[in-house]
Structure 1
Amino acid sequence: MRNDTMPRKNWFDAGGSAYAQFRPEYPAGLSTYLAGIAPTREMAVDVGCGSGQLTRQLARYFDSVIGLDPSEDQIANARAHDKVRYLCAPAEKLPLADNKASLITAAQAAHWFDLPAFYAEARRIAVENAVIALISYGVLRLEPDDLQERFIRFYRNEIGPYWPPERKLVDTGYPDISFPFDERAAPEMEICRAWELGEFLGYLSTWSAVRRVNDAGREDILTGFVRDISELWGDPTRKRPVSWPVNMRLGTI
């Protein structure tokens, strides 16, 4: 039976504002842990910060935090914090002084970088024994199983061909990515949320594969998925459990 209470809108017409609204926040324990292993708490630098999901959390623990992203749209939609300064800049050319950062993070972003160039910049701006963390979260998990099964079919088969090759690095947690640092084990963490249907679809709207589907004129893929997932979800205001595994490559510079 069709869920006719679902608002009729284009859930997949998204920009930086959708990213800021719908991308999930990281667990509080992540920033607590990273601050605990940094050699000082003077400065943290979040590269590829997007709209600042992790950047703001780091501000709880560091005297100052710099968030950098090459997208003016993302920076324009980043939420302000009195200890955070946002700059529009690429990972490969950081507009920061030498030997200043105690922690350098890249959250859900490193797969887009020219890694040798980024690593050279990270070494340049780092203090002695600074921590570098490449953070990602994997494929989401929905409950119950019928929702998960329909989502996985959408993710792997229907929009799978539209994912850029770099997405595979995220799905696997960066195990094969170049990481020339003294590496340390990372704790297990998970992002857990309870979302209404609109929040779930809003999150999907931020995906690069979804934008490519739209650009290819295959809106039928998206509307078909919205129809099916709405029917399975039931009441669109009902909150369903959503979770993601958090993966990290941690090292000392």
Structure 2
Amino acid sequence: MKDLFSSNSELYSLARPSYPIEVVQELLNLVPEPHFAWDCAAGSGQFTQLLAPYFDQVVATDLSEQQLKQAPYFENVSYQVQAAESTTFADQSFDLISVAQAVHWFDFDRFYKEVYRTLKPEGYLAIIGYGLIHVEQAELSELIHELYFQTLKGYWDPERHYVDEMYQTIPFPFDEISVPKMRMQYQWSKDQLINYLNTWSALKHYREKNQDNALVKIQQYLDNEPALICVEFPILFRVGKLKAKSKKGFLRKKR
């Protein structure tokens, strides 16, 4: 798994959108006994904090200690620096394993072996994320698309295509559960929007090789806009159970 966000961990925790509680409620409808959850690649705890009130215990892991330091404190949450693909957890530990806006960075085969090892037979894996930001203003939308598809072309890590494809093309060796389509909607200040764009990994890569301000057109446009901007994100949401086969059989198939 790549660590692209340690150097910007405080901004990431402040600027990234929070998931709606409806996502957790959908999972609680499935999980029979919400005892123990693993929030994998938890970052600064955007999704962890939604799980904490509903599970007896939550362990939240990430490669970045700096990110985890930004996460909120809960008595029933343990934050640990561990890689998604290799953990110290016992076999069949978890009722739920969640990954929010991170699975595209993983070594899929190794992570899924870890899921098959640590998930309880009746547990669930939830892959969650969000797609490209949408705004109502046509001109601002065009500027964001220009930034995403033209200015930053070649600066996105190759794994980003899984997000563009709405997580529908990731490997998913599980019995998939149908879940409803959802969206996140917010009213953001101009600063919130700029701060969010500044968390894009491709913008970080761009600035390492260029001196110009890639956000200048958007900033100039926002100077003449109202105080609040309506923004929307499509939620990427896939849920699965272990296939009805032995762990040994799954591992043999993946070799």
Instruction: Give the structure-2-normalised TM-score.
Output: 0.89
The CA deviation at 1:235 is: 5.5
The letter of the residue matching 2:101 is: Q
Tell me the alpha carbon deviations over residues 62-98 of structure 1, each in whole angstroms, 9 at most, x when there is no partner: 1111111011111121121222111111100122122
Three-state SS of the structure 2 residue aligned to 1:105 is strand
Aligned to 1:46: 39
Aligned to 1:4: none
Three-state SS of the structure 2 residue aligned to 1:131 is strand
Q: Does 1:219 align with 2:211?
A: yes
The CA deviation at 1:160 is: 2.1
Query: Pairwise mapping of residues 203-242 of structure 1 onto structure 2 (< 5 A)?
Result: 203-216=196-209, 218-222=210-214, 225-226=215-216, 228-234=217-223, 238-242=227-231
Q: Does 1:250 align with 2:239?
A: yes
- Equivalent position to 2:132, from 122, 136, 139: 139
CA distance in 2, matches of 1:181, 1:23: 29
Change (3 A) 1:67 1:237: farther
CA distance in 2, matches of 1:196, 1:33: 30
The gaps in structure 2 that reach 5 residues or longer are 1-6, 243-255
Q: Percent identity?
A: 35
Tell me the alpha carbon deviations over residues 166-222 of structure 1, each in whole angstroms, 9 at most, x when there is no partner: 111011111111111111112111111111111111111111101101111x13142
Give the count of matched residue pairs.
236
Three-state SS of the structure 2 residue aligned to 1:179 is coil
Report runs of 4+ in structure 1 exceeding 4 Å deviation.
none
Q: Does 1:58 align with 2:51?
A: yes
Q: Which moved more, 1:79-88 or 1:41-50?
A: 79-88
Three-state SS of the structure 2 residue aligned to 1:37 is coil
Name the structure, 1 or 2, with higher relative contact order (CA <8 Å, separation 6+): 1
Tell me the alpha carbon deviations over residues 81-119 of structure 1, each in whole angstroms, 9 at most, x when there is no partner: 222111111100122122110010111100111111111
Three-state SS of the structure 2 residue aligned to 1:187 is coil
Q: Does 1:122 align with 2:115?
A: yes
Three-state SS of the structure 1 residue aligned to 2:122 is strand
Is the CA contact 1:26–1:53 (under 8 Å) kept in the aligned structure 2?
Answer: yes
CA distance in 1, matches of 2:220, 2:213: 16
Q: Does 1:104 align with 2:104?
A: no
Q: Does 1:79 align with 2:68?
A: no
The letter of the residue matching 2:112 is: Y
Aligned to 1:9: none
The letter of the residue matching 2:65 is: E
Aligned to 2:162: 169
CA distance in 1, matches of 2:35, 2:104: 27
Is the CA contact 1:184–1:250 (under 8 Å) kept in the aligned structure 2?
Answer: yes
CA distance in 2, matches of 1:83, 1:160: 42
CA distance in 1, matches of 2:154, 2:241: 36
Change (3 A) 1:142 1:125: same
Aligned to 2:24: 31
The gaps in structure 1 that reach 5 residues or longer are 1-13
Change (3 A) 1:237 1:18: farther
CA RMSD of aligned residues (A): 1.4
Q: Does 1:15 align with 2:2?
A: no
